[in-house]
Structure 1
Amino acid sequence: MRILTIIFLFLFISCGKKEDENIEKLDIDKEFKSTNVTNKFLKIEYSLKVNYLDSLAKKIIPNKKYQYWQYVTYHQGSNIETYVVLNQGGDSSLRKKINEKPRPSYNSGIFYGGHPNFRCNYIVTIDNGQPYSLKTEEEFRDFLGTIDNLEEAILLAKTYGYILDTNIKGCAYRNLANGFELHLMKYHEFPIRKESIEIIISREGFVKTKSLGIYCEGSNCRE
């Protein structure tokens, strides 16, 4: 009888531990999901009154480690050129190795445009002591690699021509288990229209899009 009592107590304690472990696991899973996944769409809180692309760049995390890297905005206007380093990483003492600043032409650089003034962004990396300039959006996608945050997701979408708008149909997002779902704007010039685009971006950088329809037409829709 004593032996049976001991066995019963052992089984009871073991079951209790397993139940506690299961409860703890469920709590962890619940916390993970609540932190990383949102059912409702949230407004992307970046102002279009300033160049939001420059603000987004401050959250970039490159896909690999470089000896040094810098993300720069370049502006040319009224015979004046300006270079501003928006983000950088690695050994900043290697920055002096970048002796000549690239002078992007009117058809190179990341997110380039403007007339008569011209602006663009570009990236310079240093590996094995040698500087290399990334000037195309394809190179920029490889530089981003894994999509680490919302800002990188918006920047990746921009390389495909999808941008922020003031209308909620063009500036919303929600977190997914393995990435982000964005509602951004695709701008059409002829005729002038704004189209809402659903963009699903995985952590690996894969992009899937679907049109949600035109929500603005005519001259009132100018960027």
Structure 2
Amino acid sequence: MIKTAIRSTILLFILLGFFGYSQDKKNFSNIPTILQQIIPNDRIDSWVLVYNSYGKNQEIRTSGGKKDYTPQFSGFNLFPSEDSFYYIAYFTGGKMNYITDLEGLKKFVGKIDNAEEAAIVLTTEGYMVDEEFKDVAGNYYEDPANYYLDLGKLTSKECPYQKTHFTLTVNKSSGAVSKIKDNGTYIELYNKKCANNPRLLKIQKKEEPKDEPKKSTQRK
């Protein structure tokens, strides 16, 4: 009887701990911090993560002995931006190599080691950490088996411009996405050129001429 009670108590604490662990949501801080969490799976002698803004290079992270590299004029972004980009210069096998696109970044990351790497890999499928709306599209929680990431996605560049947020379940062992939950649109922007702009439709409705009352004809 006592053993049964002890086992039940232990099981209860395990379940409570599991539930608390899985529901502890954390916001991703920012894009540079996410990229700094990369743990390459291939053997790399040294590498440097560079941020280029308006033509100026800034080294965000260096790992291993520093080697001379050639500044790049294009790169990748985890969040859409026209004025800046990132690139990685890495030295292996006696040769300097460069990563300037998301597919190359995905290969460099390799096996997913943390939630930040999961977010990085998912950018190759159009998802993004939206730094302006972290509560809906820039956070995650985890349990022993999976990462659960809330990320945004640009679902329309036409009228209206839309962003939708999703919850993606990523298996820690395989890195595979086992579930995608659509949480709906969190940004919907119209402009003057949008034919389906609700505000424009209201204005047009107000400007529509009212039907003039029919004049009654009097018999003489």
What TM-score do the two structures reach when normalised by structure 1? 0.66
Per-residue CA distance 1:34-56 (angstroms, 9 max, x = gap): 4898332514152xxxxx21121
Q: Which amino acid aligns with 1:162?
A: Y
Match of 1:155 in 2: 120
AA aligned opposite 1:206: A
Greater alpha carbon shift after TM alignment, 55-64 vs 211-220:
211-220
CA drift at 1:132: 0.8
- Counterpart residue type for residue 184 of structure 1: L
Higher relative contact order (CA 8 A, sep 6+): 1
Secondary structure of the equivalent of 1:111? Answer: coil
Shift of residue 146 of structure 1? 1.8
In 2 relative to 1, CA 45–134 (structure 1 residues): closer, same or farther, beyond 3 Å? closer
> Structure 2: how far apart are the matches of 1:141 and 1:199?
17
How big is the shift at 1:173? Answer: 1.5
What one-letter code is carried by the residue in structure 1 that aligns with 2:137? G
- Match of 1:38, SS state, is helix
Contact 2:27 2:134 in 1 (8 A): no
**1:182-211 Cα shifts (integer Å, max 9, x gaps):** 111112322222212121222333234332
Residue of structure 1 in register with 2:198 after alignment: none
Of 157, 162, 181, the match for 1:189? 157
Structure 1, unaligned runs of 5 or more: 1-18, 47-51
Backbone CA RMSD of aligned residues:
3.2
The one-letter code of the counterpart of 1:54 is P
Gaps of 5+ in 2: 192-220
1:82 maps to 2:51: no
**Displacement after TM superposition at 1:171 (Å):** 2.8
The yes-or-no answer on 1:145 pairing with 2:117 is: no
Contact 1:162 1:184 in 2 (8 A): yes
Higher helix share: 1
CA distance change for structure 1 residues 36 and 147 in 2, over 3 Å: closer, same or farther? farther
Aligned-partner Cα distance in 2 for 1:126–1:111: 22
Residues 1:179 and 2:146 are matched in the alignment: yes
Which residue, 81, 87, 91 being the options, matches 1:122? 87
Report the equivalent of 1:13. Answer: none
- How many equivalent residue pairs? 177
Rg bigger for which structure?
2
The percent of aligned pairs where both chains have the same amino acid is 22
Name the residue aligned to 1:39.
22
Aligned partner of 2:99 in structure 1 is 134
Output the CA distance in 2 between the equivalents of 1:124 and 1:34: 42
**Is the counterpart of residue 111 in structure 1 residue 77 in structure 2?**
yes
Change (3 A) 1:200 1:143: same
| CA contact 1:36–1:175 (8 Å) conserved in 2 | no
